[in-house]
Each structure stands twice: as structure tokens, then as C-alpha cells.
């Protein structure tokens, strides 16, 4: 299946399940993207970059993604606690100015 047909298939599956496709469109040398497609890609990339920046900050500040836990329940608990701690750091930085790390 080609890239275009796979993307259309994936978009159809998402739409059928009640989701909106957030897959960025791709142009080529012969068929560049039109203005509307570029605007859609800009919105999608803005959302993606915000999520990626938060994940990267968590990875740097909290020591990486590896947890070393055995078992799914422990792994989930580790991630939940990590998210909670990171959110507290963000709260302290934004509301109280207590965290002076440039990474958060």
C-alpha cells in the first residue's frame, strides 16, 4: 500500500471510530501543499511540539524514561507518580517562582 493510500485508510479508520485525524499532510516536488493544507499542518505541528516539549522536559529533569520496574502495575504507578511530581514542579515554577531550573 502506498503512503497516500495508507494515510487515507488510517484517516478513514479514525473517522469511522469517531476521532479526528491529526496526521500531517505531505507534499512533494511535483504536488506542493496548498495554503489550507499548510495551515492545517501548522496547527497540528503546534500541538505536537507542545506535547513533545513536555515529554522531553520530563525526560531530562526526572532522569529519563527507564524505570526498571517489573510488572505492569508497578510501571503504571511509577509513571503516575512521576507525572504528579513533574506537575508539582510546574506549579511551583509558574505560581510561586520557587523552581529556578531553566529546563522546567
Distance, C-alpha 43 to centroid of its chain:
13
The pLDDT of residue 97: 74
Tens digits of residue pLDDT in 56-79: 877 777 776 666 778 888 888 888
Q: How confident is the model at residue 35 (pLDDT cuts 50, 70, 90)?
A: very high
Mean pLDDT of 47-61: 80
To the nearest whole percent, how much of the chain has pLDDT over 90?
Answer: 2
Amino acid at each position: 500500500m502506498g503512503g497516500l493510500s495508507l494515510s487515507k485508510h488510517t484517516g478513514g479508520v479514525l473517522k469511522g471510530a469517531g476521532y479526528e485525524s491529526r496526521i500531517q499532510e505531505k507534499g512533494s516536488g511535483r504536488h506542493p501543499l496548498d495554503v489550507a493544507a499548510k495551515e492545517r499542518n501548522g496547527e497540528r505541528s503546534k500541538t505536537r511540539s507542545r506535547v513533545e516539549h513536555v515529554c522531553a522536559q520530563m525526560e531530562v529533569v526526572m532522569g529519563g524514561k527507564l524505570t526498571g520496574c517489573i510488572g505492569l502495575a508497578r510501571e503504571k504507578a511509577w509513571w503516575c507518580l512521576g507525572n504528579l511530581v513533574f506537575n508539582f514542579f510546574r506549579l511551583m515554577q509558574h505560581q510561586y517562582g520557587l523552581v529556578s531550573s531553566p529546563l522546567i
